[in-house]
Amino acid sequence: MKLVVIGGDAAGMSAASQARKRSGVDDLQITVFERGHFTSYSACGIPYWIGGHVTDRAALITRTPQEFAKQDIDVRLRHEVTGIDLDRREVVARRVDGPAGEIREGFDHLMYAAGAVPVTPPWPGVDARGVFGVQTLDDGAAIHAWLDAHPAPRRAVVIGGGYIGVEMAEAMVRRGLDVTLLEKSPEPMSTVDPDMGARVRKAILGLGIAIRTNAHVHGIETTDGRVRAVRTPDDELPADIVVLGLGVRPNTTLAADAGIPLGETGGLRTDLRMRLLGGGRLDGVWAAGDCVESVHRISGRPVHVPLGTHANKQGRVAGINIGGGYATFPGVIGTAVTKVCELEVARTGLTEHEARAAGYAYVTASVESTSRAGYYPGAATMTIKLIAEKRTGLLLGAQIVGREEAAKRIDALAVAVWNQMTVEEMTGLDLSYAPPFAPVWDPVLIAARKATDAVHATH
């Protein structure tokens, strides 16, 4: 049998490794095509490498092609898959750095793990030198090299105030650049509700990042093909580098060209074992990671949640199944965490907007508390917001904005959402307490109490 993998990062290499663990070399030949220069890298680590938290790029790479070769996984870097022939069960590829010519590779199993592509609006000048999207380690390396090659004074404009935008803004600040963050919505971090986004905006202002909300971009101004400024309806913002953080879309062009149907989010649709839905010509075709859509366990809706945590799990599930085992991916609940400088932002479950769209009637409760006992050195303020179903008190979602030690509290809340707890049940949770770690009433418990009151008030 032969497994061909398209894409050599989180999903693709997790699948390849798991398939190899369960199948001997004589049973399964594994070939991976990767367009870039790296395998099994942490794209999540790119902002921290660019910002200097991590100094060595190699630290972001979990395993190299040489290490995979020891497992008899044949990784072909700088090989781009250009087509999938489902009838002949072959992929068509080319060498990115030449020599020219078509490579055809037959498969019994095909693992589609081509990730996502950054959204790039059709603005004039968006292709200029010095304008970067960020998805792969090659993208990160291009930004790093540009910053190294262009001496001060340097101004950065980051377009898009989502988590990649704010993490890249922090990275630029740490590199000593003047940073302006542009966000088209009234508040940054649209993955949390606007009232929580407002807290993020205020905090960002204190971090040395200029932020413009309700900001629209009309184009990129260039000189000799190189970025000079970002044009808004009102002015031109001088820029030596522009980073696009406008979100990503599933990289499904190859699949669509091969006639594979896409889901309503634009991602590939799989069953629980990460096998493409459809049968027939799609038998033996698997997909995982940023290119697929998942089921949201609370809304029941298909969602595209491009996160490394899912890509690794889904790839692992696919690989186990390809190798003859049995594993399923249980869906997502939208848990995510990020930071910009010392500000931490986290979410799980549904936001208010998502809860409304799913048809829930709900109440909300927000509390301000501290990360440690108020008298213990280093206690920092955090805000926790809970969203609970009106009649039942079921915890639908939670968001946290705070400083050190705030964000990881989202995991307790994620477990509660996952296990369909009510906010009233949560008030009795046996959470840990000692002054250096929490107030005697942990912020999660205070929020659960307030949300319970809000639920009772609706009865």
Task: Kindly list the residues in this chain that would bind ligand FAD in the complex (CB under 6 A).
Answer: 6-12, 33-36, 43-44, 46-47, 80-81, 113-116, 134-136, 164, 167, 251, 254, 289-290, 306-309, 311
- Nearest approach in angstroms of CB 76 to ligand FAD is 9
Q: Which of 44, 142, 380, 446 is catalytic?
A: 44
In this structure, are residues 107 and 15 in contact, taking their beta carbons and an 8 Å threshold? Answer: no
- Nearest approach in angstroms of CB 117 to ligand FAD is 8
Nearer to ligand FAD among residue 43 and residue 318 (C-beta):
43
- Nearest approach in angstroms of CB 401 to ligand FAD is 17
Nearer to ligand FAD among residue 4 and residue 448 (C-beta):
4
In this structure, are residues 291 and 251 in contact, taking their beta carbons and an 8 Å threshold? Answer: yes
- Nearest approach in angstroms of CB 415 to ligand FAD is 17
Tokens of 27: 């049973």
Query: Has 291 been annotated as catalytic?
Result: no
Tell me the residue nearest to ligand FAD as measured from the CB.
Answer: 289
Nearer to ligand FAD among residue 251 and residue 371 (C-beta):
251
Longest dimension (CA), the chain: 72
Nearer to ligand FAD among residue 36 and residue 323 (C-beta):
36
Q: Can you say how many angstroms the Cα of residue 385 is from the centroid of all Cα atoms in its chain?
A: 22
Place of tokens 């792969």: 136
Tokens of 241: 């580098």
Nearer to ligand FAD among residue 217 and residue 345 (C-beta):
345
- Nearest approach in angstroms of CB 342 to ligand FAD is 17
Nearer to ligand FAD among residue 194 and residue 308 (C-beta):
308
Q: Can you say how many angstroms the Cα of residue 420 is from the centroid of all Cα atoms in its chain?
A: 24
- Nearest approach in angstroms of CB 173 to ligand FAD is 15
Bridge-based pairing of strands 236-238 and 226-231 is antiparallel
Catalytic center residues: 44
